[in-house]
Amino acid sequence: MTVTIPAGIELTPEEARQIEFLQSKIGTKLDDPNPLNAYHGQTPFFREANIDAIFHYAWGIDDLNPMWTDPEYARKTPPGTIVAPPSFLFPAAPGGMSGSQFFGLGAIFGEHETWGGADLKWYDWIRLGTRISTETHLKDVVVKRSRLSGMLLQLIGHSRYLDDEGRLLAESDSWIFRKRKYQYGTEVSAIKLQEWSREEVDELRARKASEKPRGAEPRFWDDVREGDSFTLLKGPYSMMSNYCYLSLWHPTHMWRGDVPWSDLDTRAPGPLGFPDVRNPHYDTADAKTKGLPGAFDYGPQRHSWSSQLLTNWMGDDGFLESLSFRVKGFNFIGDLQIFTGTVTGKRREEDRCLVECSIAARNQRGEDTGDGSAVVRLPSRHVAS
């Protein structure tokens, strides 16, 4: 199989060699259960849905639905126990479904990557105490045209999530884009970070206070109508939100609590002469050297919020069967993310009553920052669940 190069894209001989090399790796196993290999990004951050992992992850995305946080409440829900938020698949995946899962392939094209999106499917709740193993492979390598950088190389990984008995709990396709250069132009660098007045913050606080999970009151399939819409507000994006997700998702487990002796002579020194972590996601000075106005979020973080939009709406008796969400723009410090779900269709498949939804994410500037689609299973007044 040969990678198709879109018309008008010219590759250097070295780029063609790198792409051919990556294409030859399709089917390669990407995960590694050995925790000592975590530095290479191929180990999941969480491998068991224990009470602390579930609660801390829910806290990290600020989704305190009692189905994942309150044992007494959870006993009265359909799963009969605490379950993990659907987006718990991210820290349960090698490298958190980030670009780090591809590190084992060797040299990767270009200087920089952006997280593009993920298609997730769930076949059961991730119940308290479930030990999760993964089977992950490189699924595809695709060359795409890019408005800002000319071309992007898309790497797609596929993961299967299994419990101790080998039952399939979920599947995911996730992808990153590798670009030639890590530099953005004035279209991005000219963006002014949002500042908020006290009055505006008060309005946001009141709006957030009104957004709660539906809870124990069933949302019946029979009552849902095409065109129904629902929303979730996140932000203003803060460094607190950034650090909380970072520490409970994936990248920090690539780093260690002291400067590894093996790095002292090999990594580029920091401002005080020894190597330290610099990352534009949370280092404003580093972000500006890349043509960005400030620090910004993580793609899987936004994906996790899109699933919260759906679980808030569907209630305890609903089940999120699938969710596809792609990132389309930055979420900088100070930005809002306004998620809107819209019912686009309904159908029955045997005894499953399904609702199809579209998802849109926009910031306070009115820019589209993400979109997607989902399928939710709901109880019916006329079909036994």
The DSSP result for 170-230, as a single string, is EEEEEEEEEES-----HHHHTPPPP---HHHHHHHHHHHHT----TTS---GGG--TT-EE
Residue 83 DSSP one-character state: B
Taking CA atoms, 194 is separated from 40, 187, 203, 327, in Å, by: 36, 16, 16, 20
Look up residue 42 and give its two tokens.
Answer: 């191929």
Side-chain-side CA neighbours of 76 within 13 Å: the count stands at: 7
For 288-384, list the strands marked E by DSSP. 319-327, 337-349, 352-362, 368-377
Mapped onto helix, strand or coil, the DSSP state of residue 297 is coil
CA angle 316, 320, 325 (to 5 degrees): 135
Alpha-carbon Rg for the chain, nearest whole angstrom, is 21
Residue pLDDT, tens place only, 40-86: 567 888 999 999 999 999 999 999 999 999 999 999 999 999 999 99
Residues 6+ apart with CB under 8 A from 349: none
Residue 274 DSSP one-character state: S
Task: Provide the CATH number for the domain around residue 215.
Answer: 3.10.129.10
Residue pLDDT, tens place only, 289-341: 888 999 999 999 999 999 999 999 999 999 999 999 999 999 999 999 999 99
Look up residue 188 and give its two tokens.
Answer: 């991005």
| Helices and strands per DSSP (H, E), number in the chain | 9, 9
Is 284 a member of any domain?
Answer: no
Is 55 a member of any domain?
Answer: yes
Q: Cite the DSSP H helix spans in 89-190.
A: 186-189
CA angle 319, 114, 16 (to 5 degrees): 120
Q: Taking Cα atoms as reference points, which of 314, 303, 273 lies closest to residue 373? A: 303
- Count of domains observed in the chain: 1
Is 153 a member of any domain?
Answer: yes
Taking CA atoms, 267 is separated from 102, 260, 264, in Å, by: 21, 10, 6
Whole-prediction pTM: 0.94
* pLDDT digits (tens), the chain, 385 positions: 567 787 778 888 888 888 889 999 999 999 876 766 655 567 888 999 999 999 999 999 999 999 999 999 999 999 999 999 999 999 999 989 998 888 878 767 777 788 999 999 999 999 999 999 999 999 999 998 877 667 889 999 999 999 999 999 999 999 999 888 767 777 888 899 999 999 999 999 999 999 999 999 999 999 999 999 999 999 999 999 999 999 899 866 566 677 777 667 666 777 788 877 778 888 888 888 888 999 999 999 999 999 999 999 999 999 999 999 999 999 999 999 999 999 999 999 989 999 999 999 999 999 999 999 999 999 999 865 5
Is 76 a member of any domain?
Answer: yes
Is 360 a member of any domain?
Answer: yes
Is 132 a member of any domain?
Answer: yes
Domain containing residue 211: 13-243+293-377
Is 95 a member of any domain?
Answer: yes
Is 253 a member of any domain?
Answer: no
